Structure 1
Amino acid sequence: LVQGKTLAHILAARQSPQDELPRLLTIFEHVCQTLSYTHSCGVIHLDIKPANVMVGAFGEVHLMDWGLARASAALCVPTSLRDGNATSPADENAAEKLPGISSLDLAVDVPAGMIWGTPPYMSPEQARGHCADVRSDVFGLGGILCEILTGCAPFRGTNFLDVCFKAAQADLGDTYLKLIDSGADGVLVRLAMKCLAPDPDARPTDAGMVASELTLYLESLLRRAESDLERFFELSLDLFCIAGLDGFFRRVNSNFSRVLGYSDKELLSRPFLEFVHPDDRDQTLNVMSQLQLGEPVVQFQNRYSAADGTWRYFEWTAKSVPKDHIIFAVARDVTDRMR
């Protein structure tokens, strides 16, 4: 039994589509990766929607409700082309690789004309009763991403038949406008619109391609965040450092050298207690004991020796991560204030 909240519940609880976007994109990435594996086994889910994604209390993500899932060979046409070659029919051991799915159910034929799926997220070919393949699942992924970015499913209407008609007609004009006006990153908007293309040939070939594009985007965000942090670390007027609970600086920004007159090498190669005024060392050791316990330090003052023989008063704010044995600290030079 999988416990947690469905993605549909999480999306409905938001105040705005911008809320929790990083978390939701991570959930979506997990869904794409799960579906990528499913497609590699020659199996199509056929009912991709937020209500079929369960998010556990610890962030685990499960793709649910495989009642409509079928082997590629059981559908009315082969699955999509990959790199110019037809993808393989269902893996003979697909049921073993996908726990909870019966090999007999996977083998049940889906005749042409049969309409399976959930209309607000259903691909146009499914809504028309035409042949479905892995790209129909890709459309469903686009539907999830669309709802993450805009708060709305791809197809909406006043009643069930109205939604079915819009899905069959691929009536996506309003959806595209909502995506464009969502304020979301253009990379995500373009990915959603590609997945929601009415023509299956215009969509990514399978969930693996969607997963790859999303992963590249998330990695670029991480690199950008690291670059911003680096810039902030160096451009700040305060003295930023990362230190170890072993009593050594691991990294200092350029302000340490500017204020104290030592090189980075000198600062990193000696225990930082050596720079502290002898009268302030016991207090500094007490503060280190607090940090070892994970207790934050605010507005602690001590004196550091400068290369010119003077003493500089520093006021510290620090937070430790005991399990990683590191301290993040910022100091302000308050020497002028103390005179």
Structure 2
Amino acid sequence: MSASGKPRLLVLIGPTAVGKTQLSLDIANAYNCEIISGDSMQVYRGMDIGTAKIMPDERQGIPHHLIDIRNPEEPYSTADFQEDCRRLIADITSRGKIPFIVGGTGLYIESVCYAYEFADRGSDPEYRLSLEQYADEQGAEALHALLVKVDEDSAARLHPNDRRRIIRALEIYKLTGERMSEQLGRQTKTSPYDLCIIGLNMERQKLYERINERIELMMEQGLEEEARVIIESGLPHDAVSMQGLGYKEFVPYFAGECTLPEAVETLKRDTRRFAKRQLSWFRHMKDIDWVEADENFHNKLAAVHAIIAGKFAIGLEYNSNQSFSTGVSANEQNH
């Protein structure tokens, strides 16, 4: 607990491929943290390469939560994530450690940081079915265009292939006459936690280069075969797990509608666009202390140390060998 009496919550956000994973391990080791994945796709078993999932032998003995907790056919929502995080934060705090959310799914993370309330808006199965049929006949872009007409902000946040969430946004508008973006905008921005949110950013062109390099590495690691197993397992096209990057881009290739290089280029393009949308979301969040990710890892860690020490009043001494030594007392660690 902090001096305010609220549980501490450390958060590291940033666009895909910016370098969150390696930095998170250094931070977690230094501050006695347990990591909670803030990635909406890493909850799914078997979707490892395409989600850049940190594997057990890479975790340096640091507990990682909300990874591999669902099968690909099972849904997982923002409300599910929020509920799981509340439980985990309380549990981790009770054991004298700092809960540390790391990821790039902005709505998931913001819903936890500010205790968003999710009201049951009901459903309209006939309307949903009509939208499904419309998307099947007219295509993803046409469905996305319907949302642009009624809720431009939500449309900007959602990828045209994210059929499930687009349909839900349209359904909410039909049922309530209110845009989903308006509902999100009304949420209070008061946190039940003593928050420290660190944002990792990078010069745009350098980030895009890293994205392209990462996808080439994923292909070398076997992404094509992983995608084939997932897609040929018979998952419905609107399954939550199929909305993430790294899998649906291969559907046309497996259907003989494009070449493998074309599928890879589509994945690179869509990932760059996704990173842009992530940064757009984060710019609307508050309480973020931004750190520029450059090639000097020492400077990056030093900047992060200063932010955390200032927010949580924890004394750490940063060493020239790129590691931290903690000045936290045993009593402080247990509170």
TM-score (ref. length: structure 2): 0.23
The structure, 1 or 2, with the larger RCO (C-alpha pairs under 8 Å, 6+ apart) is 2
TM-score (ref. length: structure 1): 0.23
Structure with the greater alpha carbon radius of gyration:
1
